[in-house]
Chains A and B, each alone.
Chain A
Amino acid sequence: MDVLLDGVLALCLPLLAWLVLRTESLSQAVVLFVAFGLLSALGWARLEAPDIALVESAVGTGLTGALLMHTLSWTEETPPDIRARGRRRPWALLAVAASTLMLGWAVLALPADSPGLGPLVEARREESGVKHPVTAVLLNFRGYDTLLEIAVLLVAALGARAVNPRSERPTPDAGDDPLTGELFRMMMPALLLVAGYLVWVGDHGPGGAFQAGAILAGGGVVALLTMRMGPPRLSSWQVRWALLTGPMLFIGVAVAPLFTGRRLLELPRPYAGTLIFVVELALTVTIAMVLLMFFPGTRPPRAGAEGEP
Chain B
Amino acid sequence: MHELRTGLAFFLLLNILAGMVRVIRGPTVTDRFIVAQLFGTTGVGVLILLAADAGRDALRDVALVFALLAPVTVVAFVRFAVGSDAAPGSDKEPRP
A residues neighboring B (CB under 8 Å):
1-2, 4-5, 8-9, 12, 15-16, 19, 25, 27-28, 31-32, 34-35, 38-39, 41-42, 45-46, 48, 50-51, 53-54, 57-58, 61-63, 65-67, 69-70, 72-73, 77, 177-179, 183, 187, 190-191, 194, 198, 201, 205-207, 211, 214-215, 218, 221-222, 225-226, 298-299, 301-303, 306-307, 309
Contacts and interface: CB of A to CB of B under 8 A. Distances in A.
Given A31-B32, A187-B68, 7 more contacts: A31-B29, A31-B36, A38-B36, A72-B80, A205-B61, A218-B68, A301-B91
A303 B87 CA distance: 7
Contacts of A225: 75-76, 79
B41 to A, nearest CB: 10
23 contacts: A1-B6, A12-B17, A31-B23, A31-B33, A38-B40, A38-B66, A42-B47, A45-B50, A45-B59, A45-B62, A50-B59, A63-B72, A73-B84, A177-B82, A183-B75, A187-B71, A205-B57, A211-B65, A218-B72, A225-B79, A298-B83, A306-B91, A309-B95
A2 B75 CA distance: 35
A178 B80 CA distance: 12
Contact of A179 (B32, B39, B75): B75
B73 A62 contact: yes
Contacts, number: 182
A38 B24 CA distance: 17
B36 A206 contact: no
Interface string B44-60: 00110010000011110
A28 to B, nearest CB: 6
Contacts of B3: 1
A73 B77 CA distance: 9
Contacts of A179: 75, 78-79, 82
A60 to B, nearest CB: 11
A53 B59 contact: yes
B6 A57 contact: no
Main secondary structure of the interface of A (DSSP, over half): helix
Q: Looking at A57, A72, A177, which has the most chain B CB atoms within 10 Å of its CB?
A: A57
A46 B10 CA distance: 12
B69 A63 contact: yes
Given A45-B62, A50-B59, A50-B62, A28 B10 contact: no
A222 B71 contact: yes
B23 A218 contact: no
Contacts of B35: 31, 35
